[in-house]
Amino acid sequence: MTASADFLAYVLDQLAGLPGVAPQRMFGGVGLYCDELFFGLIDDDVLYLRADDANRQDFLARGMSAFRPYADRPQVSMKYYEVPADVLESAAELVAWAQRSVAAARTAAQGANAAPRRKPRARRKLRARRPPSGAPRLR
């Protein structure tokens, strides 16, 4: 993962209309957070935004591909999709797409917190083992 300082500055400038955006360097790339929700990332100077059932079709309708972090395993993808160039160039449109991605991240975070917890298994009582027949008993 890589992200140039110039591209990061451009993306942050375009997202200036979305309050609370903060970049975080990670593995050479950059994660984008809004109010502590991870909603986007930059890799090889390409912006990817989080998608879920509510906004995934926006990306797919434009022919955008999913983020694939492993070149040697192209079948592995994440819930982040490349942003179309014309959206990236329009600050107002990018902010609108980013808001939907923040909502997707919020929904995922709430879902993770609301996941039903498994009941702990009942512990079995340990019984004293009897020595094999004919074995001397220890006292």
- Per-residue pLDDT tens over the stretch 60-73: 999 998 887 655 55
For range 52-64, the mean pLDDT: 93
| 5-113: CATH, from 3.30.390.10, 3.30.1460.30, 3.90.226.10, 3.40.190.80 | 3.30.1460.30
The pTM for the full model equals: 0.74
At residue 58 the predicted structure's pLDDT band, cuts being 50, 70 and 90, is very high
- What are the extents of the domains in the chain? 5-113
Closest to 63 measured CA to CA, from 87, 89, 98, 31: 87
Instruction: Note the pLDDT tens digit of each residue in 76-132.
Output: 457 899 999 999 999 999 999 999 999 999 998 887 665 555 555 666 666 666 666
Mapping DSSP onto H, E and C, the string for the chain reads CCCCHHHHHHHHHHCCCCCCEEEEEECCEEEEEECCEEEEEEECCEEEEECCCCCHHHHHHCCCCECCCCCCCCCCCCCEEECCHHHHHCHHHHHHHHHHHHHHHHHHHHHHHHCCCCCCCCCCCCCCCCCCCCCCCCC
Q: Which residues is 46 bridged to in the sheet?
A: 43
